[in-house]
Each structure stands twice: as C-alpha cells, then as structure tokens.
Amino acid sequence: MINVTAMMTRYLSPLLLGTVASTLAFSTATHASNMYILKDENGQVLLTNVSKQSGNFEKFTKTVKVTSYASSKMYDGSGSNYGSSSASNSGNRNAYDSYIRASAARHGVDPALMKAMMHTESAFNPNARSPVGAQGLMQLMPATARRFKVSNPWNPAENIEGSAKYIAWLMRRFNNNVEHAIAGYNAGEGNVDKYGGIPPFKETRNYVQKVMSRYHSLYKNDAGLSTVSNTNNGLQNASYGTSSNSNNANYVKSAYDALR
C-alpha cells in the first residue's frame, strides 16, 4: 500500500483543497482500499490512506470519514458472475441474425455482443422508441444515427449497421474494454471518461449487467451467429479494466465537509 498523507487546516482555500484532495483521491484509489479523513482538537485535518492505528497520528483523535475505494470493474470477465438470463419471448428474436452477422463481420464486432445489446435495447422490436427519442432495434439517438450515417433508423438493416459502427468505435475508444464500451453505448462515452469507468448510474450498471448476462448465457454459443461468433471478434480478446477515479467527487466533498 502506498502511504499518501496530506495535512490541511480549515484556513486552506477551497480551490487549493479541491486540487489536493482530488489529486490524492486519484493517486491512491488504485492502490488503497480506504482513505481516512482525521481531525485534531485544533481543527487540523489529515487526509491519509494509512489508518491511525498503523500510522503515527496520535494527535488526530477524531475520525471524520472513512471512504472505501472499490474498483468500478463489475465482473471478472469469466461469465460466471454475470448471472443467467431467460430467452426472449419475441417472435422476432432470430429475425435479424443475418443482418447482425453481416454488420458484425464488416466492422469487427462480436455478433453475440450485438444481439445481447439488441435484446436489452429493444427486445427485437424494430419500431421501439424510447421516451427520450432513441429509435429502432438498437435504440439509436438521432444524433448518433446521423454520426454513423444512418438515414433511416427504422430500417433494420441500416439501424444494425449504424449500431455496429458505433460499437466498433467504442471498443477502439476504450481499448477493447467491453464493459466500458457497453456503458458508453448506454450513457455516452463522455460519462465513461468522466467517471474513469462504468458511471455510477443505476440504469447504466443494470444495463451492463443485463447485456453481459445475455451474452454469456444466451448468445455466445448461439448457432444462428456461429459463423463469426467464434472468431477473433469475440469477447475472449477483450479486457475488463478498472477505474481509478470514479470516487473523486465524493472524496473532495468529504474533505470540504471536514474543513467546515
């Protein structure tokens, strides 16, 4: 464990505090499971990743906050921790396999992943529209459809082609980290960047879990996708990275509160 400590008083400027606290949180989250905010009788605050039991911090008698920094990695990548899913009841559940195979092959995407995402996005309904305006089988937002040259998102072939392009782009964007790519499809790549991994949004975390569960339990060995699902496009070559700064905002807030 890296020993990182910082001494702060209530007289420090908020700007300096924010800079130091966010730097500490970023630099230690990968290496330490806990960060401690301690205070002495004069109001001085100590931020450290070493507990006062093991450190030389006798005068800091009050523990203001203990924050655990868990990885944003949700699962181990083996498939065993994603849970199982039931097959779709849709009569269209296999109707688009040929489009999925073709688009997946053109853009180097795992077709089983695409089908798991389609199941989760639209339940194989080509006319699906979300309350926020997402359209079609893989629920492309209008701006995303334009970005990937989809002129008619209600056309299954065009929609699937645009979705494959987007997934391929996300996989490159996140260095083949599957969970991050899936999260980016749901919440936007900017939010994955902002939180350094899967955003802490309930909807997005549930979405990632559902997609990966359906991938492993329903589609990875789907015979209808077998012509390409066992090639190097599969998830076996992808990674399941971790986040180092997803808790920065909470950590900085705790530091501000401690110094009030």
Catalytic residues: 121
Phi, psi at 69, each rounded to 5°:
-105, 95
Token look-up 């390409």 returns 228
CA distances from 99 to 158, 162, 167 (A): 9, 11, 15
The Cα–Cα gap between 180 and 191 comes to: 10
Strand order in the sheet with 45-48: 5-8, 45-48, 34-39, 62-68
Neighbouring C-beta atoms of residue 126, cutoff 10 Å: 18
Token look-up 């040929």 returns 98
Greatest alpha-carbon pair distance for the chain in Å reads 71
Provide the CA 68 distance to its chain's centre, in angstroms: 19
CA distances from 16 to 22, 45, 46, 195, 233 (A): 10, 14, 15, 22, 47
The Cα–Cα gap between 64 and 41 comes to: 12
Kindly state the DSSP code that residue 243 receives in the 8-state scheme. Answer: -
Sort 224 into a burial class: Cβ within 10 Å, 0-12 / 13-18 / 19+.
middle
Alpha helices (H) in 174-259, listed in sequence order: 178-187, 189-195, 202-214, 226-229, 248-259
